[in-house]
């Protein structure tokens, strides 16, 4: 069959296995080239680097890029966890299913240990499975990346399922929305949170599960001395604070940041620490459908590309590892609240001023000039394995369970 993207309201509902595999391969090649450029040495080569890494939410975005950086630039053995729809011969799987397949294949080729569990990372069953596996390896984790982004979570103790929402708090939030595929602007409004929307979102996207993971791994004795753990968050520009930083998802991220301090205290006994990395805004499945955000990112990409500071997931995570987590001085630079700021280039005052200027007078007539529509469209398609250079999209895919 010939696979073309199926898009509904800035949401792509299918994926291309060959495209997903090629994109993952491209990310791997990028960090391999950076390893040579930076002169990075793995632990086996005598360098300061992680040896055994756990990535929770390993299949796409920052989680996948973190796993690739740890493995192919720093030589780490990795265990990954994500919950994906499996591809079958005549029915496609989720993009992450193909990304994980590609990562495991390439890691094994490189002589690295790798295991990927397709499980609910919020469950204690998953935690025990990971603990059993790393014990089987005779290893301990020295880095744990927490990059879960799920709309639902079932509490392991009560078995109650909670759902997260992306809504403002107190009042509606609206503004221009950009359809990436057509370039058409329209007004969109998100209604304010109601009832238990805020606590439920905190329950799903906050730090409770992260803290539970570290507690159980610690009790199982599978954390190495000096173990670090890392979770990801986003601050963004002031114009998005009402829907993000001050909205339901922002409440969850603030909980995540608060719990990082609790986790750090628990890791002190083994010389470890917990960090939240504030990352740059990127096109994701969720950011594509939030009012203002897609348009903002299009203007941001235009400005940052002109300044030479634009980064995708893999460039950003590679810089996070090389210039924050595994520096030669073994120190992790943070802001006054203990957060890693890899969003420094996005929130650069000059960059934000230029973005504000572009957005202030944007209309349907000039949106194509002021916004990098082609760039955000490309990123959106590539998440799902489409528009990846080097892939023949007119070629028949005879088996949707394979990546070659």
What CA–CA distance (Å, rounded) separates 248 from 205? Answer: 10
Residue 177's Cβ-count burial label (10 Å; 0-12, 13-18, 19+) is buried
Catalytic, out of 232, 244, 296, 326 = 244
Strands (E), 295-404: 340-341
Catalytic site residue 232? no
Write out the E strands in 209-343.
223-233, 273-278, 340-341
Q: Which of 218, 230, 233, 226 is nearest to 330 (CA)?
A: 226
Coil, helix or strand for 244?
coil
Rounded to whole angstroms, how far apart are CA atoms 58 and 64? 5
- Residue 303 has phi, psi (to 5 degrees) of -65, -45
Which segments of 252-303 are extended strands (E)?
Answer: 273-278
Paired with 145 in beta bridges are 55, 230
For residue 56, the number of C-alpha atoms closer than 13 Å in the C-beta half-sphere is 28
**3-class SS at 353?**
helix
Q: Which two tokens stand for residue 35?
A: 């390893």
Are 58 and 116 in contact by the 8 Å Cβ rule? The answer is yes
Please identify every residue annotated as catalytic.
Answer: 244
């Amino acid at each position: 069959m010939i696979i073309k993207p199926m898009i509904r309201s800035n949401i792509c509902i299918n994926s291309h296995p060959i495209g997903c595999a090629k994109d993952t391969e491209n990310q791997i090649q990028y960090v391999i080239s950076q390893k040579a450029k930076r002169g990075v040495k793995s632990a086996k080569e005598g360098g300061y680097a992680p040896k055994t890494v756990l990535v929770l939410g390993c299949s796409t975005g920052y989680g996948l890029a973190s796993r690739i950086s740890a493995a192919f630039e720093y030589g780490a053995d990795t265990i990954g966890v994500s919950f994906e729809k499996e591809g079958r011969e005549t029915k496609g799987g989720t993009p992450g299913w193909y990304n994980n397949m590609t990562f495991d294949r390439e890691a094994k080729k490189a002589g690295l240990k790798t295991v990927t569990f397709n499980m609910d990372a919020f469950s204690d069953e998953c935690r025990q499975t990971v603990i059993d596996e790393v014990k089987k390896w005779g290893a301990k984790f020295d880095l744990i990346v927490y990059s879960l982004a799920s709309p639902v979570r079932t509490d392991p103790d009560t078995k109650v399922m909670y759902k997260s929402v992306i809504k403002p708090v107190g009042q509606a939030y609206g503004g221009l929305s950009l359809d990436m595929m057509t370039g058409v602007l329209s007004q969109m409004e998100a209604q304010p949170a109601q009832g238990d929307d805020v606590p439920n979102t905190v329950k799903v996207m906050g730090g409770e599960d992260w803290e539970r993971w570290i507690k159980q791994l610690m009790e199982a004795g599978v954390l190495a001395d000096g173990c670090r753990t890392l979770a990801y968050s986003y601050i963004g520009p002031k114009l998005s604070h009402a829907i993000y930083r001050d909205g339901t998802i922002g409440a969850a991220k603030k909980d995540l940041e608060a719990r990082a301090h609790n986790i750090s205290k628990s890791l002190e006994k083994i010389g470890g620490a917990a960090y939240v990395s504030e990352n740059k805004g990127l096109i994701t499945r969720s950011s594509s459908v939030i009012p203002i955000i897609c348009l903002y990112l299009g203007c941001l990409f235009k400005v940052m590309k002109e300044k030479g500071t634009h980064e995708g997931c893999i460039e950003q995570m590679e810089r996070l590892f090389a210039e924050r987590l595994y520096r030669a001085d073994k120190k992790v630079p943070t802001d006054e609240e203990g957060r890693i700021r890899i969003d420094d280039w996005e929130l650069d005052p000059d960059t934000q001023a230029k973005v504000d200027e572009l957005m202030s007078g944007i209309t349907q007539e000039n949106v194509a000039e002021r916004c990098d529509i082609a760039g955000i469209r490309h990123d959106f398609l590539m998440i799902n394995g489409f528009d990846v250079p080097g892939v023949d999209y007119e070629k028949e895919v005879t088996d949707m369970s394979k990546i070659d």
